[in-house]
Structure 1
Amino acid sequence: MYNGRTDPVEHVSHFNQRMVVHSKNEALMCKAFPSSLGPVPMRWFDGLGLGSIDSFKELTQAFGSRFITCSRVSQPLDSLLSMTMQEGETLKAFIDRYWEMFNETDEDFDDVTIRIFKVGLSAEHGLRKSLTGKPVSSVHQLMDRINKYKRVEED
């Protein structure tokens, strides 16, 4: 249900996924779309002039234009550079902050991401020493290594 406060592009994408078997039926897509809207967006939809929309594409463009201020702004890869483990912060807390910021970036630079994560760890941390001595080559490998150290820290 779209409430008017989240990314409209993501909402349309989710709606399209739910309606994928009906995607060729534009009239049905247009008629079903309002059922995914909360009160504020429904008022916008109800205010559309009769015959002002000729296709589902037009409807989603108008929807996106109206709720553009809610669009998600991706973070630049540079935002990861400022991420450092704070004194007294647990590995789990640092990882949670790091991956939250990582998921907000739209760029795909595994090697840079791995290096930035490693530099963000304190120099004495065992995980940083492990990543220095035995480097990983993918984010998947990094996650595996992190999980090993998280288990040790949590025990």
Structure 2
Amino acid sequence: MFAVYNGRIDPVEHVSHFNQKMAVHANNEAVMCKVFPSSLSPVAMRWFDALEEASMGSFEELTRTFGARFITYSRVPKPLDSLIFMAMREGETLKTYSDRYWETDNEINGDFEDVAVRTFKVGLPAEHELRKLLTMKSALNMRQLMECIDKYKWVEEDQI
């Protein structure tokens, strides 16, 4: 039913997934607190079992304490520069570059769609056909950029 927290993943993500699974019980603090331990692996369960009885006043306090205990496993968002300075590597396919680019984009906190749309082109080699197209006719949003990329990925795959 639940993804088990193994002590090696982001505790915030774990709590978020737990909350999604328990959405119908979100207003029932007692149920949330009683079920939460069932989402913990033995390592995290030892932490939970060591808590003093009735030491948590709410589910929010429990999850905040949980997050503080396992903070070293929190995912640190990548800075925007990691996207800005990304470039297609020599011999890399458009598919591989775009997959790597979007993965990095997804790891950045904030809404930087306009930056992502504009900087994708800059990471392409100057002689790349997609870069030439995007220079002549800029994509206005992520959807348009993705459509252009998909078109050129198919062309590239046909040539291989």
Fold equivalence (TM over 0.5): yes
Offset, 1:10: 1.0
Distance 1:115 1:54 in 2: 48
Give the unaligned 5+ runs of structure 2.
none
Distance 2:130 2:104 in 1: 20
Instruction: Tell me the equivalent position of 1:79.
Output: 82
Distance 1:58 1:4 in 2: 19
Pairwise CA RMSD: 1.0
Distance 2:22 2:115 in 1: 38
Distance 1:111 1:14 in 2: 29
Distance 2:113 2:52 in 1: 48
> Which amino acid in 2 is paired with 1:123?
A
User: What secondary structure, in the 3-state scheme, does the structure 1 residue paired with 2:48 have?
Assistant: helix
Matched, 1:89 2:92: yes
Distance 2:58 2:117 in 1: 45
**Residue-by-residue CA offset, 1:77-126 (whole Å, 9 max, x unaligned):** 11112211111111111111111111110121222211211000001111
Which residue, 5, 19, 26 being the options, matches 1:2?
A: 5
Instruction: Tell me the equivalent position of 1:36.
Output: 39
Distance 2:117 2:58 in 1: 45
Ranges of 4+ aligned residues in structure 1 off by more than 3 Å = none
TM-score (norm 1): 0.96
Instruction: Tell me the equivalent position of 1:135.
Output: 138
Aligned length: 155
User: What secondary structure, in the 3-state scheme, does the structure 2 residue paired with 1:87 have?
Assistant: coil
Distance 2:6 2:116 in 1: 34
**Residue-by-residue CA offset, 1:50-86 (whole Å, 9 max, x unaligned):** 1211211111011011001111111111111221111
Distance 1:128 1:68 in 2: 41
Instruction: Tell me the equivalent position of 2:63.
Output: 60
Give the unaligned 5+ runs of structure 1.
none
Retained in 2: the 8 A contact 1:118–1:128? Answer: yes
The share of aligned pairs that are identical, in percent, is 66
Distance 2:38 2:95 in 1: 40
TM-score (norm 2): 0.93
Instruction: Tell me the equivalent position of 2:109.
Output: 106
Retained in 2: the 8 A contact 1:77–1:107? Answer: no
